Amino acid sequence: MTDFSTILSHIEGLSNGSESATNEELVNDFADRLTLDKSLITENEEETVTLLQTTVATLMKDNLDIDFAPLITLLDAILSQLSYDTISHQLDVPYVLEALASPNPNIQIIALKVISKAHPVDIIANTGIIHRVFEILSKAETPVAVVSEAEGALEVLFRGVLVRRRAMSDSTVDVLLDMKESGDPILVGRVLNILTLLLPRVESNEAPHNLYQFDILDQKDVLVLLTLIKFYTDVVDITQTHLDKSWLMADVVKQIDDISQLYADRANNIDVEYFAVTSIEELFAKVSYASPDFFGTLETKYISIAKQDTFLLSHVNPSFLASNKVNVLKQLKLTIDTIPIFRHLMSDKTAFDIIQPQLTSTQILRLPYLEIMAITSKLTEYEYTVKYLLNELPQVMNKLLKGDSVIENETWQLRKLTLENLMHVPHDVLNVWHAAVQLEYDKIVKGRPVAPQVEVLDDAL
C-alpha cells in the first residue's frame, strides 16, 4: 500500500526530471485513499502539507512534458480534506490572484480549486477574485478544463450574498455584457451558464435585466439561437423549482414569445426547421406547467397542437390538453406510435377520461406484448387507472398474468414493474386478482411461487 513517502518521492522525481512519466495508477490510487479515508490526512498533517506544496510546485512548472491530470486529481483529493484555514496558509489570496492571471492552465485550476474551498464563501468577496474569474471566462481561448473548473467554483461561491453582489457590480457586469454582445457562441454560452447558476439565488432587483434579455429575432448564428432556447428552457425550470421567481418568468415573456414566433414561421427558416424544433417544443412543454395561461396564449397564436404533434401531446401539461384540446384527444387512436401520448395523458384524470374509449381490451391486445406492458405499467400508477384496469380490462390482466415466459429484458422489466405496482394496491381493490398477482410476482422475484409455510413448535423451547 502506497505511503506518503512513496507518493512524495514520485512527485518530487517528476518535478526535478528524474522521473519522466506520471505513474497514473500510483497517483490515482493514493488520491482515492485520501478521498475515502480522512484519517490519512488528520494523522499525517505535516506530510499532507508537504505533499500539497510539492504537487502545486510540480503543476506550476511549464517545462515538464508529463501527464498532469492525475496530479490535478491528487490535488483535488488533498484540498477536499483540508480546512480552508490550512489551505489559505499555504496558498493565500495574493497567490490565488497571481495564479488566476497565469497563462498556465494548471496553475489557474489550482487557484480555482482553492477558492472553491473558501469558508465562509463571502470571505473572498472583496478580494478581486470574482472579477478575475470572470475575466478568465471572457477569453474564448480559455481551455475547457479551466472553464469547467471556473463554473464549478462559481456554483459554490454564488451561495454567498456578498459574492453575488460582487458578481453583479458594475465592473463585473460590464465583462458579462461584453461577452453577451460579442456574438461569439462560446462566450454567449458561458454568460448563459453563469446566469443559470446565478438566477436561482438572486432577487428581481439584483441582476440587470439586460443581462438575460436577448434579441431573439436578430440572432443569425444557429448555435447561439440553440443555446438561447436551452437557456430560456432552464429559466422556466428555475421559476418552477425555486420559490418567489414569478418575476423571472415575467421578465422573459417577450423572449419566449419571440421563440414561439420563430417556431410558427419555421417553414421559412431552414435553421429553425432542421435544428431548433425539438428544443423549442421542449421549451413549450416546460412553459405549459410553469404558466398554463401564458402557454395558452402561445398555443393559440403560434402552435395550434394537432393530433400529429406527437412530442407536444406526450410532453405538454396533460391538464392543459384536457381543458383546451378535447377534440384533438378524442381523435387519437392507440397504436405503437401513440403509446407515449397515451402514457402521458394517463397522468391526469380528466385527460384519461377523454382517451379511455380507446383503451379497450381489444385495442390494447392488438399491440405487441412489449407495448401492452408499456400501457399496463402506466395503468398501475394511479388509483383511477388501476381500478379501470382491474374492473374493465380482464383480458389485459390475463395477458399480463400469462406472460411468465417473457425473457426479453425490456419487456420483462416492464412486466415486473407492473406487478410491483399492483402489489402496492390494497387487497380489497385487487379483489379476485390478488392471489394471481401474488403468484406471478413471487415467480419474478424468487423464481418460483412461495408456498404457504406451516409453523412447527420446537419442543426444545
pLDDT tens, per residue, the chain with 461 residues? 468 889 999 999 998 888 889 999 999 999 999 888 888 888 888 888 899 999 999 988 878 888 889 999 999 899 988 888 888 888 889 999 999 998 889 889 989 999 999 999 999 999 999 999 999 999 999 999 999 999 999 999 999 999 999 999 999 999 999 999 998 999 999 999 999 999 999 998 888 999 999 999 999 899 999 999 999 999 999 999 998 899 999 999 999 999 999 999 999 999 999 999 999 999 999 999 999 999 999 999 999 999 999 999 999 999 999 999 999 999 999 999 999 999 999 999 999 999 999 999 999 999 999 999 999 999 999 999 999 999 999 999 999 999 767 889 999 999 999 999 999 999 999 999 999 999 999 998 887 554 444 434 343 33
Which one, of 95, 88, 103, 82, lies nearest residue 146 by Cα? 103
What pLDDT was estimated at residue 450? 46
Is there a contact between 378 and 385 (Cβ–Cβ < 8 Å)?
A: yes
Is there a contact between 208 and 168 (Cβ–Cβ < 8 Å)?
A: yes
Exposed / middle / buried, residue 314 (Cβ in 10 Å: 0-12, 13-18, 19+): middle
What pLDDT was estimated at residue 65? 86
What cell was used for 272?
Answer: 429553425
d(CA 111, CA 106): 9
Q: How many CB atoms lie under 10 A from the CB of residue 41?
A: 21
- Distance of alpha carbon 178 from its chain centroid, rounded? 28
What pLDDT was estimated at residue 80? 86
Which one, of 74, 57, 73, lies nearest residue 7 by Cα? 74
Is there a contact between 386 and 379 (Cβ–Cβ < 8 Å)?
A: yes
Across the chain, how many H-helices and E-strands are there? Answer: 31, 0
What pLDDT was estimated at residue 448? 56
d(CA 115, CA 83): 12
Is there a contact between 331 and 307 (Cβ–Cβ < 8 Å)?
A: yes
